[in-house]
Amino acid sequence: MGIESVEKFVVEKLKELWQAMENLWGQFLEWFDKIFPPETRGEKLHHWLQIALPIAIAGVVLSLLLYCCYKCCCKCGGGRRVKMMKAPGRNCTMARPAFEANPKSYFRNLRAHPGDQLC
């Protein structure tokens, strides 16, 4: 299978995709004309906009409120999550702030107790 045959295959598939998209767009336009006939389209769209806009605004505001409440109040009982890391020289994880606060003492303790795998 040469490059020319691959190119021909890709071009064929792209043509098929383009034709399918045209058919889909045509079906959408037919459906839209059926629901909103051209004679009364302006009135119907205005009516639906008056109904849908307040509902959409309320949905967005409610979503933002719930998102903010979740981010501020609901994580880990109101506190922030602690970043964890693999403990150097051990087979466990530990809190990153505990290590970053005093890495010198961590390694001194690790060397003093080399067989200790507890965190």
Q: What is the mean pLDDT of residues 24-35?
A: 90
pLDDT value at residue 108: 86
Q: Nearest to residue 82, comparing CAs of 71, 94, 70, 69?
A: 94
Supply the pLDDT for residue 77: 47
Residue 86 CB neighbours (<10 A):
10
Each residue's pLDDT tens digit, 51-110: 999 999 999 999 999 888 777 765 544 456 788 888 888 888 888 888 889 888 888 888
List of long-range contacts for 73-80, beta carbons under 8 Å, 24+ apart:
none
Residue 14 pLDDT: 93
Determine the Cα–Cα distance for residues 3 and 9; give it in Å rounded to an integer: 10
Predicted pLDDT of residue 59: 95
